[in-house]
């Protein structure tokens, strides 16, 4: 059996609703149906694909499960906001990665405080008994059909000799990487980042506009300067609208963040660090 025959037979065996789902998903990705636009009615789709309404409902259900469409009262089935994606390529701040992908980001600085770091943060920064400066920021992205949506709650711990000079005004429209470089001449050289599953506490869930106990992703990024001294420890909670995806090519693998509907995440969780204690596992 040649490859073409095998592919044709596989398509014949494929349920009709799956084939319809794939066709509509491709059309959405190609911009035939744009974010906020209604899909053709189920009756129109039934006539187009020459199948029953039940088959169309199954296909539309798959689109909804994938977060590609929303079913709205009085508006029918509407194409969801396109996913927010950015590439983890060159070393950039979290917000710069989103902005580089063409997304509008707003940063609200919730507070800056001199604190005793959690033991894990102190260990990562290589300090003992010293204070650090904690900067908490809420990042929101423009979702078009929903306006600005809070998607990242970020706590950044800086060595006191650097963080003590950082102001809230300086961070309103610049990243910490930019402030360290432009204001203090501290150039970042590399970063190590780990992303794990997490659950949201009451405060975190409220700020991210979801329910306590909701799943999230926790990005733990330790940044070093050009002399390989750790200067910044970032703990960023990414809400359920954000997901990771990877593009795998023969010569490289590129990782992206993307806007995504909530999905089930492992029960093996971490919580973000708080001053005065270890982050709970």
Query: Is this prediction's pTM over 0.75?
Result: no
Within-domain flag for 246: yes
What is the reported pLDDT for 55? 92
Exposure string of 42-61, with b = 16+ CB inside 10 Å and e = fewer, is beebbeebebeeebbebbbe
Regarding whether 167 and 99 lie in a shared domain, the answer is: yes
Within-domain flag for 264: no
Find, among 64, 90, 66, the residue nearest to 78 by Cα: 64
Q: Into how many domains does the chain fold?
A: 2
What is the reported pLDDT for 81? 65
Regarding whether 114 and 26 lie in a shared domain, the answer is: no
Regarding whether 196 and 93 lie in a shared domain, the answer is: yes
CATH assignment of the domain containing 18:
1.10.10.10
What is the reported pLDDT for 250? 55
**Cβ–Cβ < 8 Å for 182, 174:** yes
Within-domain flag for 238: yes
Regarding whether 68 and 161 lie in a shared domain, the answer is: no
Regarding whether 139 and 200 lie in a shared domain, the answer is: yes
pLDDT by residue, tens only, the chain of 281 residues: 454 444 454 445 678 988 898 899 888 877 788 877 889 999 999 999 999 999 999 999 888 877 788 877 777 888 876 544 434 444 555 555 555 555 567 888 999 999 999 999 999 999 998 999 999 999 888 766 667 888 889 999 998 887 667 877 778 778 888 888 888 888 888 888 888 888 889 999 999 988 888 888 898 999 999 999 999 999 999 887 666 655 555 555 555 555 544 333 333 233 344 444 433 33
Sheet arrangement for strand 215-225: 105-115, 132-142, 148-159, 230-238, 215-225, 188-199
Residue ending a domain, among 79, 94, 126, is: 79
Residue 7: which domain range?
3-79
Residue ending a domain, among 57, 79, 101, is: 79
Regarding whether 163 and 25 lie in a shared domain, the answer is: no
Regarding whether 174 and 229 lie in a shared domain, the answer is: yes
Regarding whether 198 and 64 lie in a shared domain, the answer is: no
Residue ending a domain, among 64, 79, 94, is: 79
Within-domain flag for 234: yes
Regarding whether 112 and 62 lie in a shared domain, the answer is: no
Regarding whether 226 and 141 lie in a shared domain, the answer is: yes
Within-domain flag for 228: yes
What is the reported pLDDT for 198? 87
Regarding whether 120 and 56 lie in a shared domain, the answer is: no
Regarding whether 238 and 166 lie in a shared domain, the answer is: yes
Within-domain flag for 223: yes
């Amino acid at each position: 059996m040649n490859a073409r025959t095998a592919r044709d037979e596989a398509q014949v065996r494929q349920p009709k609703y799956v084939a319809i789902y794939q066709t509509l998903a491709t059309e959405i990705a190609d911009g035939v149906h744009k974010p906020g636009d209604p899909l053709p009615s189920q009756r129109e789709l039934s006539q187009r694909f020459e199948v029953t309404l039940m088959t169309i409902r199954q296909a539309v259900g798959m689109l909804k499960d994938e977060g590609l469409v929303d079913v709205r009262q009085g508006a029918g089935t509407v194409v969801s906001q396109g996913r927010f994606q950015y590439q983890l390529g060159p070393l950039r701040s979290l917000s710069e990665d989103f902005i580089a992908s063409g997304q509008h980001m707003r940063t609200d600085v919730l507070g800056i405080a001199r604190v005793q770091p959690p033991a894990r943060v102190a260990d990562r920064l290589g300090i003992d008994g010293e204070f650090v400066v904690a900067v908490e920021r809420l990042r929101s992205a423009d979702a078009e059909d929903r306006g600005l949506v809070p998607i990242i709650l970020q706590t950044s711990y800086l060595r006191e000799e650097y963080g003590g000079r950082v102001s809230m005004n300086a961070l309103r429209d610049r990243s910490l990487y930019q402030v360290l470089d432009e204001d203090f001449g501290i150039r970042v050289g590399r970063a190590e980042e780990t992303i794990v599953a997490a659950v949201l506490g009451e405060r975190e869930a409220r700020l991210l506009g979801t329910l306590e106990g909701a799943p999230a992703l926790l990005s733990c990024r330790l940044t070093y300067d050009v002399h390989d001294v750790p200067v910044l420890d970032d703990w960023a909670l990414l809400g359920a609208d954000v997901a990771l995806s990877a593009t795998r090519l023969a010569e490289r693998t590129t990782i992206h963040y993307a806007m995504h509907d909530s999905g089930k995440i492992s029960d093996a969780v971490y919580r973000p660090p708080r001053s005065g204690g270890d982050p709970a596992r």
